Structure 1
Amino acid sequence: MTVNVAAGGLVRACHPEPTAAVTALSGLLALRLGHSPATLALVMAAVFTGQLTVGWSNDLIDAGRDRLVGRADKPLATGRVTARTVRVALAVAAVLCVVLSLALGAAAGLVHLFLVGCGVAYNLVLKRTALSWLPYAIAFGLLPAVVSLALDPPEWPPAWMIAAGALLGVGAHLVNVLPDLDDDAATGVRGLPHRLGPVRARVTAVVVLAAASVLVVLGPGRPPGWAWAGLAVVGVLVVAALRGRGATPFRAAMAIALADVVLLVLRGGG
């Protein structure tokens, strides 16, 4: 195995898309809250290593299941990277996550480590239970708190932001699992989306994400015009997600989640 192949496999095994998305979200929130460049970089570094910890632990735990169902997109299942390499990378990421998180201050650091712990708990146990949504709700709900508690002095974000983040997390969980329902069922995974079934899971995801949009727009006070425009766009996407065919509902639900992130960042500073 060449170094390039192993490195590429290691990148794929960390779940690069959600890792990049959550890290970017933390950076945008930090920028919106007025953090200095140094603290902004520290926030993003802590969140990045936390996401690496969650992503690599997920693929290590699921390696046997992924091989069983022939997941060609999973490097550990295809042999593009060895379990030993991922374990070493995971250990390094976990140590860096602890150090960088605590460097943000005790409050922000402990909240972030709790958030990462929820992600690992999902990988280990909760993804196979009816509580599979809970780690996502906690993690997305508390992410704004990690950023605001890193301020000097530390402060908790408003309740609407925590609630909207939690709704966004639940919706993201439902949407993320939809493409893998059959593979998961074949290996005995029965989280909330599996118990709901594909149709009810999709509808629930759309409703939850739309609720997050409404909360973000109305929560911080009188909404500006652009916020109402964003909510109107979400309304169009909700119709597409509920009435569309083929890949349209999934793509529309993903677009609602993206709109929620944009609205959350833009409304979060005021």
Structure 2
Amino acid sequence: MLAILAAAHPAPALAVTVLTALLAVAAGHSFGSGLLVVAAVATGQLGIGWSNDLIDADRDRRVGRTDKPVATGAASEAVVRSAIAVSLVACVVLSLACGWRSGSVHLALGVASGWAYNLGLKRTAWSAVPYAVAFGALPAVVSLALPTPSWPPAWMVATGAVLGVGAHLLNALPDLADDAATGVRGLPQRLGAGVVRVVAPLVLLAGSAVAVLGPPGPVPLSAAVAGGLCVALAAVAVGGRGRVPFLASIAIALVDVVSLVLRA
């Protein structure tokens, strides 16, 4: 069971789910409606994570990835396929239960982007597009699920999209050598590790700047403190190794959303 859970990429899935919960609080969801949209996003993330491990299993075996349960055989491919099917059905049902507007955006932009990345876009120069679309759509998934559906402000969509691109660049950073060995030529691989280490934190800080300056009115102290914390986390991303830069990018996104909740 733990191997099946690990094959779902639980850390990114949990991070996106927590971001959704914070956005739901900021948007003013009740507990029930907020729980529904969080559950819809969580099931979508599980399916995307499992499909990534399953689709990449042969490639992961060739480079000796011991952290991939499907590639090592710790998680049965048949069981993972069944888990994907169950998660997809649950995701569709839960998403549409949030309302056709929210459900359509989640399925067509959020979930479909994750699957498009796994199925081939990760190997192209357009590999950042699914991240931009999915993260940019997340605020709309939440706000369109309200009793009175509404589109989020443009600055919020832009913040999500920019943070998604930064997260993609840093998420790929530890695997660049393995990717090169198996012919994966996405945007991070084309830029190279040196460029990614500099560009990705700058992209994340640009997203944070939009989050701080985008809302109308004066910038409160809490937002200014959040901006400073994001700068510190960007420095961690520049100097970190392994998964540390990606975790720093997720922390930046969390800080930005917490700042938004405090301003709501």
TM-score range for the pair, normalised by the shorter chain length: over 0.9
Query: Any stretches of 5+ residues in structure 2 without a counterpart?
Result: none
Instruction: Specify which of 140, 143, 149 is matched with residue 148 of structure 1.
Output: 143
Instruction: Specify which of 181, 184, 190 is matched with residue 185 of structure 2.
Output: 190
Q: Show the counterpart of 2:229.
A: 233
Give the Å deviation of 1:27.
1.0
**In the superposition, relative to structure 1, how do residues 127 and 87 fare at CA in structure 2: closer, same or farther (>3 Å)?**
same
Q: Is 2:260 aligned against 1:264?
A: no
1:1-270 pair list within 5 angstroms:
7-114=1-108, 115-221=110-216, 222-239=218-235, 241-242=237-238, 244=239, 247=241, 251=244, 254-267=247-260, 270=264
**In the superposition, relative to structure 1, how do residues 132 and 252 fare at CA in structure 2: closer, same or farther (>3 Å)?**
closer
TM-score where L is the length of structure 1: 0.92
**In the superposition, relative to structure 1, how do residues 194 and 92 fare at CA in structure 2: closer, same or farther (>3 Å)?**
same
- Aligned partner letter, 2:230: V
- Aligned partner letter, 1:124: L
CA distance in 2, matches of 1:116, 1:64: 23
Give the Å deviation of 1:234.
2.6
Identity over aligned pairs, percent: 56
RMSD: 1.7
TM-score where L is the length of structure 2: 0.94
Give the Å deviation of 1:241.
4.5
Answer yes or no: is the 8 Å Cα contact 1:19–1:48 preserved in 2.
yes
**In the superposition, relative to structure 1, how do residues 110 and 193 fare at CA in structure 2: closer, same or farther (>3 Å)?**
same
Give the Å deviation of 1:257.
4.0
**In the superposition, relative to structure 1, how do residues 88 and 212 fare at CA in structure 2: closer, same or farther (>3 Å)?**
same
CA distance in 1, matches of 2:55, 2:234: 35
CA distance in 1, matches of 2:177, 2:196: 13
CA distance in 1, matches of 2:224, 2:7: 39
CA distance in 2, matches of 1:184, 1:253: 17
Per-residue CA deviations over 1:45-80 (Å, capped at 9, x if unaligned) read 100110011111111110100111111000111111
- Aligned partner letter, 1:200: V
CA distance in 1, matches of 2:162, 2:241: 23
Answer yes or no: is the 8 Å Cα contact 2:167–2:249 preserved in 1.
no
- Aligned partner letter, 2:97: A
**In the superposition, relative to structure 1, how do residues 82 and 256 fare at CA in structure 2: closer, same or farther (>3 Å)?**
closer
